[in-house]
């Protein structure tokens, strides 16, 4: 089976670009799975259902994330689609994901402290 996974962060965001890309890959309409919620983690209902449904030899398409750091060409995920380029892109995405999660945690902590101080 061939599946496609689409995710946008909010209900207001448009997922058409992802739908078009997955249709071009001949993903059957009934196998296009969509979540409309934050990308901060993988606690997404449709994603979880999809993962449980996947079997050996199934194919899952997603629309890629392109990242370009202007001052570090090594972090341009649009280039180097060979094994080393893919490896480096994966590392970059993992690091950026960690940094984003850490920033969210720090932000929440600071917001809690601010609210406590405000009550004093």
Residues 6+ apart with CB under 8 A from 111: none
To which residue do tokens 């449904």 refer? Answer: 53
Helix ranges (H only) for the chain are 16-24, 45-53, 83-119
> pLDDT tens track of the chain, all 120 residues?
999 999 888 777 788 889 999 999 999 999 999 988 776 666 788 988 988 898 988 998 888 655 666 666 666 666 666 777 667 767 777 787 788 888 888 888 888 888 888 877
pLDDT by residue (tens digit) across 50-74? Answer: 888 989 889 988 886 556 666 666 6
Are the beta carbons of 31 and 54 closer than 8 angstroms? no
User: In angstroms, rounded to a whole number, what is the distance separating the alpha carbons of residues 52 and 49?
Assistant: 5
Determine the pLDDT at residue 61: 87
């Amino acid at each position: 089976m061939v599946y496609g996974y689409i995710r946008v962060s909010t209900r207001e965001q448009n997922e058409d670009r992802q739908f078009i890309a997955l249709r071009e890959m001949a993903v059957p309409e009934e196998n296009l799975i969509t979540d409309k919620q934050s990308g901060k983690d993988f606690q997404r209902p449709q994603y979880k259902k999809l993962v449980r449904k996947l079997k050996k030899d199934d194919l899952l398409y997603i629309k890629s994330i392109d990242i370009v750091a202007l001052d570090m060409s090594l972090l341009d995920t649009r280039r180097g689609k060979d094994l080393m380029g893919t490896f480096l892109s994966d590392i970059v995405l993992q690091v950026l994901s960690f940094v984003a999660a850490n920033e969210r945690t720090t932000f929440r902590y600071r917001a809690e402290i601010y609210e406590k101080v405000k009550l004093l």
